[in-house]
């Protein structure tokens, strides 16, 4: 069963909680680092995809999906704190009565705020590089952002649910694997699936939106559009991680988990 990976989920939750209890600033910096790592993924994805977009090729989005995988590798191996993954880790650990629910909600908020700050900082750095000053370079990114800001609210909500379900699986399934290469390939494949499917990831979106807003952009890209997207997507991401991952795995594995606890006693 999934006992060993679930033990790893608890371990990661405790590790994050320990960092927060020791230093809120260090915890916030780890959260900022996560969205900045995603920012690297956003840049390489839309820069590589733009070569195909400029030629009106249908491979623009698949190429972006392939290269965006660098983000999850940086987060998984770089020791950063991502809000979407924490909806799974903290909820599951709280359901196991090994973490207070009050701490879960506080850490969710702290991680989300840290992710926002990281996205803003990364966007400002990109602005200072002038890499996106040329409209020919920013075309693909701006076209995707424009579409994301005008998707109906209900659709954004359900895309957010499916997204974080798949993204959490991209972190969870490799926990059962021993070989690093197998872990990396699994992560990259699942992230490719989420990206190319058109699902919505709140932190990836906030990084992409922040970059779009600091460069020259059309009036259709606005702060109202950011709120219109991020609110339903964030709620959907929470449900995907806390309900479809944490609640599901807690329920289906509860008999085995209870047996393990009794045997340890």
- pLDDT tens by residue, 89-123: 999 999 999 999 999 999 999 999 999 999 999 99
Tens digits of per-residue pLDDT, 184-207? 999 999 999 999 999 999 999 999
d(CA 195, CA 175): 21
Structure tokens at 35: 């969205």
Q: Which domains does the chain have, with CATH numbers?
A: 3-260 (1.20.1080.10)
Q: What is the pTM of this model?
A: 0.93
Are 104 and 91 contacting, i.e. CB atoms less than 8 angstroms apart?
yes
Check: CB of residue 174 under 8 Å from CB of residue 186.
yes
CB 151, CB 229: distance < 8 Å: yes
């Amino acid at each position: 069963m999934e006992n060993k990976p679930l033990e790893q989920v608890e371990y990661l939750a405790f590790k994050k909680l320990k960092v927060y209890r020791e230093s809120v600033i260090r915890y916030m910096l780890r959260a900022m680092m996560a969205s900045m790592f995603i920012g690297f993924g956003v840049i390489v994805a839309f820069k590589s995809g733009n070569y195909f977009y400029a030629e009106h090729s249908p491979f623009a989005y698949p190429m972006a999906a392939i290269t965006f995988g660098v983000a999850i590798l940086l987060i998984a191996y770089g020791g950063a704190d991502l809000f979407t993954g924490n909806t799974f880790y903290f909820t599951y650990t709280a359901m196991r009565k090994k973490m207070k629910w009050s701490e879960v909600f506080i850490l969710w908020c702290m991680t989300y705020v840290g992710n926002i700050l990281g996205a803003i900082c990364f966007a400002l750095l990109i602005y200072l590089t002038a890499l996106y000053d040329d409209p020919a370079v920013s075309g693909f990114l701006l076209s995707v952002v424009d579409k994301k800001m005008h998707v109906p609210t209900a659709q954004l909500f359900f895309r957010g649910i499916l997204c974080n379900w798949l993204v959490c699986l991209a972190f969870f399934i490799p926990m059962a694997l021993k070989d690093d290469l197998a872990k990396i390939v699994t992560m990259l494949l699942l992230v490719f699936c989420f990206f190319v499917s058109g699902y919505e990831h709140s932190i990836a979106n906030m990084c992409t939106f922040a970059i779009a807003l600091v460069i020259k952009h059309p009036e259709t890209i606005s702060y109202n559009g950011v709120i219109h997207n991020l609110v339903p997507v964030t709620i959907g991401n929470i449900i995907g991680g806390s309900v479809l991952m944490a609640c599901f795995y807690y329920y289906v594995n509860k008999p085995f988990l209870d047996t393990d606890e009794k045997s340890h006693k």
